[in-house]
Amino acid sequence: MKVLVIGGGGREHALCWKLKRSPSVSEVICAPGNPGIAKDARCINVNAGDIDGLVDLVRKEQPRLVVVGPEVPLVAGLADRLRAENFAVFGPNRAAAELEGSKSFAKTLMDEAGVPTAAFETHTDPDAAETCIRNWSAPIVIKASGLAAGKGVIIAQTVDEAVAVARDMLAGNSFGDAGSQVVIEEFLEGEEASCLFVVSGDTILPLDSSQDHKALLDDDKGPNTGGMGAYSPAPCVTKEIADEVLETIARPVIAALKDRGIEFIGTLYAGIMLTDDGPKALEFNVRFGDPECQPLMSRLKSDLGEVLLAAAEKRLDGVTLDWDEHAALTVVVASDGYPGSFVKGQIIGGLDDVEAVGTTVFHAGTGEKDGAIVNSGGRVLGVTALGDSVAEAQQTVYTALKYLDWPGGFYRKDIGWRALKREKSE
């Protein structure tokens, strides 16, 4: 079958890479794609935010399956438009995508469904937000309610800092319209992990666990980013914890959507905190995580095309997933200055040498100029390897990265440290 993937980042490269290797898939198309994706798919330059252009593209190409990678077109209702024309789509409709599009909506739904989560309040008025913050203790979490590319969460260490952050968000200085409403949450202590599910109506199929590193710098310091690396499986997520997340977080929130007349078809991403009181939901995304998708696709042995088509056609019941027993780890290479401003158009060399060590390089923010690969975004590459352990996968990636020729790029040197600590203790 022909599959069209929407998007042009590292997540979409991992999906195209896996779909190309799926026996059920005869051709992979990607819009808009990137130079790395072009090795695994036929790229067509239609932006992921151009809903009308994407609908026209689907009409022209007539794919058997459309896989929507990023959150923006989902929140904008692309899946609704395509389903109205009887195309098979893997990705939730606009109403279900509000789980990610509005953190306020997600928290309210969690509250209704009895999903364990942090105490919270939502505010649009700066004075009311300040009153709430001063009634709580620090550290305290301030979130922009709207889409902020994974960067709209600030953990304030003092009350005064939290007040300043909330006022800045509500004034539109930090995240524009995404911060016109803020969610103020209690700070949860524990270890964070990612639990993803392929969902089709009442059928929920768990993926193996993963864990990402959101902080910019080593030792989990610096501002939050969209993710500086990830690995799978996450040793902190035992089978018992995975089952608990399924029953106390995933099933209740999907049921709560159904009670509102909203059917969910796509990926449910639950960011969870493993607290002393059990797993609690931090937030939901409605697509594969980036960079979690890269190690997950590297470990998935099942035919991804068959799985996603079954979900899109509401026949997921009975489908199972087969996983490689090896661990996989991804290190993100970002442009110097990210998540702030950075210089684009820098030539990136040594990519063949990096892969020759035994890695797969997934392209995220790359472009092409005069035949050379250049950086075009903040998070640029996801260098990924398999290993008998997280430690072995990590060693392969960092050995490979020594061959990367890009002075303007940087990466964390400690991706996977929590898993390594557990592996050593065991």
CA distances from 389 to 195, 235, 271, 301, 413 (A): 20, 10, 23, 18, 17
What is residue 150's predicted lDDT score, i.e. its pLDDT?
A: 65
- Identify the burial level of 294 via C-beta atoms within 10 angstroms of its C-beta, where 0-12 means exposed, 13-18 middle and 19 or more buried: buried
Spatial separation of the C-alpha atoms in residues 130 and 310, rounded to whole Å: 48
Instruction: Encode pLDDT of 65-102 as tens digits.
Output: 999 999 999 999 999 999 999 999 999 999 999 999 98
9 and 36 in a common domain:
yes
Q: What is the pLDDT along the chain (426 residues), one digit of tens a residue?
A: 999 999 999 999 999 999 999 999 999 999 999 999 999 999 999 999 999 999 999 999 999 999 999 999 999 999 999 999 999 999 999 999 999 998 999 999 999 999 999 998 899 888 888 889 999 988 999 988 888 776 688 888 999 998 898 888 888 777 787 778 889 999 999 999 999 999 999 999 999 999 999 999 999 999 889 899 999 999 999 999 999 999 999 999 999 999 999 999 999 999 999 999 999 999 999 999 999 999 999 999 999 999 999 999 999 999 999 999 999 999 999 999 999 999 999 999 999 999 999 999 999 999 999 999 999 999 999 999 999 999 999 999 999 999 999 999 999 999 999 999 988 887
- pLDDT at position 137 is 84
Cβ neighbours around 160 below 10 Å, total: 12
Q: Concatenated DSSP letters for 67-78?
A: EE-SHHHHHTTH
Q: Domain count of the chain?
A: 4
Task: Specify whether 164 is located in the same domain as 251.
Answer: no
Domain match, 198 and 295 both: yes
Residue 107 lies in a domain: no
| Alpha helix ranges (H) inside 273-366 | 293-299, 304-312, 351-356
- Is residue 148 situated within a structural domain? yes
Whether the link from the prior residue into 206 is cis, omega within 30° of 0, is no
299 in the same domain as 208: yes
For residues 155 and 195, the answer to whether their CB atoms sit within 8 Å is no
Q: 222 in a domain, yes or no?
A: yes
Whether residues 260 and 194 fall in one domain: yes
Which H or E run includes 185? Answer: strand 182-186
Given CA atoms 404, 406, 407, 408 in this order, what sign does their dihedral have?
A: negative
Same domain, 195 and 280: yes
Other CB atoms closer than 10 Å to residue 110's CB: what's the count?
A: 23
Bridge partners for 379 per DSSP: 334
Query: Residue 223 corresponds to which tokens in the numbers above?
Result: 């501002």
Q: What is the pTM of this model?
A: 0.94
CA-CA distances (angstroms) from residue 36 to 68, 173, 211, 311, 426? 18, 34, 24, 27, 38
With beta carbons less than 8 A apart as the criterion, state whether 153 and 141 touch. yes
Residue 153, domain extent: 125-180
In this structure, the answer to whether residues 211 and 297 fall within a common structural domain is: yes
Q: What is the CATH number of the domain that holds 394?
A: 3.90.600.10
Question: Which residues make Cβ contacts (< 8 Å) with residue 16, sequence separation at least 6?
Answer: 5, 28, 30, 33, 37, 40, 41
Q: Are residues 304 and 199 in the same domain?
A: yes
- Identity at 204, one-letter amino acid code: I
Q: Which of 404, 155, 398 is nearest to 282 (CA)?
A: 155
Q: Is residue 230 part of a domain?
A: yes
CB under 8 Å to 50, separation ≥6 — which residues? none
